[in-house]
Chains A and B, each alone.
Chain A
Amino acid sequence: MDVTEVINITKPSRSRGYEDEDDDSDIEMLGNNHNDGEFTNNNSSIVTPGELITEDPIWMKGHGTYFIEDKTYSSVAGNVSRVNRLLSVIPIRGRYQPETGDHIVGRITEVGNKRWKVDIGAKQDAVLMLGSVNLPGGILRRKSETDELQMRNFLKEGDLLNAEVQTIFNNGIASLHTRSLKYGKLRNGMFLKVPSSLIIKSKNHAFDLPGNISCVLGVNGYIWLYKTNLNNQNNNTTNINIHNNGASPAITRLEEESSWEIYSDKNDSNITNAIRSNITRYYNIIKALSFCELGITEPRIIMGYESSLSYMNVGSLIDKDSMETICQEIINNEKMRG
């Protein structure tokens, strides 16, 4: 029997080979153009906490900096960013900073007075107001006291949901809403977490992947992998047909689809083993991308999936070497495609 089938113990190693070749291009691009000699550390735009950035008092101090006697220091480890006269440091790591419009995945931590508290990986829990969710059946009306009393029937502690950041209050707390059919409770899949700095914001954070899997790539680094809901697509077409015939009973799809089902805790009964193993494959690929500190995007996940198909045993993907191989392949692939 092969030992590595059971356990893989390696010595810690400091450097990973590919870092020298491609030191995460996303960060590099931001940094390089600031080195124009005005800064004391003109050989690199990466600063560490307490490092002097500039002695020139002309700069306005932004986030991630502090000011002592006309000198600006960095308060975080990150890249110096300069917008006109505003000097700030963008931290490399750190908690997620919510911004309006972000598509995020969160977990309910508390049910409170007309609101839910949601863990979104930010400094403070976000709030989801009772008024910002869809009622079952899509009824459009003011939320009443009865709704308040049955808030736990909609969402309770531990429930996962995807939502959009509606506003940021001045105390930094994010307010969410789920007023769209693409938002709401999550089912039929698995949750995983990566550092939010690895998620690259894009137009679309929910997409279908090869192998009948869909993914919600929360901007906050919370990711939901689940079985693609085929009914959804079929419904779309039938609905359009109905509309064309002019015989549509519902004004919007909202009314038809958002019965109590949207708050159901039941998974589909027909999740096959093939789908389950595909989900674990994507799970491992995303873990690998995060291990190698590559930005996580839809094309990269798909490329990772394709190159992982050469591994018959998906379980071997958790080893450090295979994760690095996969990432190396993704980088090469991207280089070839330009």
Chain B
Amino acid sequence: MILSPAERSYLYDSLSQKPPIRPGARSDHQFRPLEAKTSFLPNSNGSARIRLNDGSECMISVKSKVVVTKSVTNLIDVDIDVAGFRDDSNFVSNLKYNLTSLLITNFPSQYLKLTSKYSFKLFIDCIVISHSSYPLSLISLATYLALKTTRLPLLVSEVNDEEIEEQPTFSDDWDNAKYLDEAFEPPIFITLGVIGTNLLFDPSIEEEQVLENGLIVSFYKDNVITPISNINLATNSNNSNFKGLNQKLIIESINLCNKYCPAIIKALNTLTEQDDEGDDDHIF
């Protein structure tokens, strides 16, 4: 997306005001409204779908498989498919790397442990059907919802199989399936735009074009965690504003995320609870 010089300077000036005047009049810490739905794929252990008003949409499916714990390097596998991008493109592999490493390092693997020999392995498949701004936080919020509603079949065989050679067997009744853990809140990514001394949550595509820098902050268990990385959010454009990052802003971004991210987690949790209760089949 290319903006004209006049648009660019207008937008830059508006966003560097204190407080910033964003195109949709959002406040600096306000996300764009989302629509989401969970547990709608009958063949998946967990699924979620999240959509923005502008048509950006992302769908996640979580599937599980019983593996011999020793035979695999990690118990989570993430695959991302972005419409319009090759699977081996930098864009997709960066998204995939970010999400995979965040989940592998922060996922409590004891939830997946079945017996001393066997574990569940989770396959998280993600399709970005359409996107305008950088889709990482959208994907990560959808992953949160999918993991939060992932149900795994109940193990009925013996847990301790060190002496006896036994294959794990599961309850036939899907109603007995268990959530990963009620208290488990998967880690999420938040994208922030840096412009002047302002930090903007969830920048839209127009805003991305004039940002001086971008930050990806990860958040887990009520705290900002590493990695915190910076990125040029304006892909395929002539962003001439891109600059270095003031370290004070990194500290500020951590403070802001610590302040506002609990609200995001809360909103996501409320949604999963609502989806549990209501059995309306509106998925679109």
Interface residues of A (CB under 8 A from B): 1-3, 5-14, 107, 157-160, 185-192, 265-267, 271, 273, 276-277, 280-281, 283-284, 287, 291, 313-315, 317-320
In this complex, which of B33, B259, B264, B282 has the most chain A Cβ atoms within 10 angstroms of its Cβ? Answer: B33
* B residues less than 8 Å from A186 (CB atoms): 4, 6
Q: How many residues of B contact A (CB 8 A)?
A: 48
* A residues less than 8 Å from B278 (CB atoms): 11
* B residues less than 8 Å from A2 (CB atoms): 263
* B residues less than 8 Å from A267 (CB atoms): 6, 9-10, 13
Bitwise interface map of B from 181 to 193 toward A, beta carbon under 8 Å scored 1, else 0: 0000000000000
B35: min CB distance to chain A, Å: 5
* A188 near B6: Cβ-Cβ < 8 Å: yes
B49: min CB distance to chain A, Å: 8
Interchain CA distance A11-B268 in the complex, whole Å: 11
* A280 near B30: Cβ-Cβ < 8 Å: no
Main secondary structure of the interface of A (DSSP, over half): mixed
Q: Give 27 pairs: A residue, B residue, CB < 8 Å, sorted on A.
A: A1-B259, A1-B260, A2-B263, A3-B267, A5-B263, A6-B31, A6-B260, A7-B33, A8-B34, A9-B33, A9-B267, A10-B271, A11-B35, A11-B278, A12-B282, A13-B282, A107-B4, A158-B2, A158-B5, A159-B5, A185-B4, A186-B6, A192-B23, A315-B22, A317-B24, A317-B25, A320-B33
Is B158 an interface residue, CB under 8 A from the partner? no
Interchain CA distance A267-B8 in the complex, whole Å: 10
* B6 near A14: Cβ-Cβ < 8 Å: no
Interchain CA distance A284-B10 in the complex, whole Å: 17
B45: min CB distance to chain A, Å: 21
B253: min CB distance to chain A, Å: 15
Q: Which residue of A lies closest to B3 (CB)?
A: A158
* B25 near A8: Cβ-Cβ < 8 Å: no
A281-B25 contact, Cβ under 8 Å, with A8-B34, A265-B4, A265-B5: yes
Besides the known contacts A7-B263, A10-B34, A313-B25, 4 further A-B residue pairs in the complex with CB atoms under 8 A apart: A6-B260, A9-B36, A187-B6, A291-B53
**Other-chain residue from A160, A281, A314, A317 in contact with B6 (beta carbon distance below 8 A):** A160
Interchain CA distance A319-B6 in the complex, whole Å: 29
* A273 near B263: Cβ-Cβ < 8 Å: no
Interchain CA distance A14-B280 in the complex, whole Å: 11
A5-B27 contact, Cβ under 8 Å, with A11-B271, A12-B283, A276-B17: yes
Interchain CA distance A277-B53 in the complex, whole Å: 21
B66: min CB distance to chain A, Å: 33
A191-B7 contact, Cβ under 8 Å, with A7-B267, A318-B53: yes
* B282 near A283: Cβ-Cβ < 8 Å: no
Is B21 an interface residue, CB under 8 A from the partner? yes
* B10 near A277: Cβ-Cβ < 8 Å: no
* A287 near B24: Cβ-Cβ < 8 Å: yes
* A residues less than 8 Å from B22 (CB atoms): 280, 315
* B267 near A8: Cβ-Cβ < 8 Å: yes
**Other-chain residue from A187, A188, A277 in contact with B21 (beta carbon distance below 8 A):** A277
In this complex, which of B25, B30, B271 has the most chain A Cβ atoms within 10 angstroms of its Cβ? Answer: B25
* A residues less than 8 Å from B32 (CB atoms): 318
* A271 near B263: Cβ-Cβ < 8 Å: no
Interchain CA distance A319-B35 in the complex, whole Å: 11
Interchain CA distance A291-B23 in the complex, whole Å: 16
**Other-chain residue from A14, A107, A287, A318 in contact with B282 (beta carbon distance below 8 A):** A14
In this complex, which of B238, B263, B280 has the most chain A Cβ atoms within 10 angstroms of its Cβ? Answer: B263
* A residues less than 8 Å from B25 (CB atoms): 277, 280-281, 283-284, 313-315, 317-318
* B33 near A190: Cβ-Cβ < 8 Å: no
* B residues less than 8 Å from A281 (CB atoms): 25
* B10 near A12: Cβ-Cβ < 8 Å: no
* B residues less than 8 Å from A157 (CB atoms): 2
* A189 near B10: Cβ-Cβ < 8 Å: yes
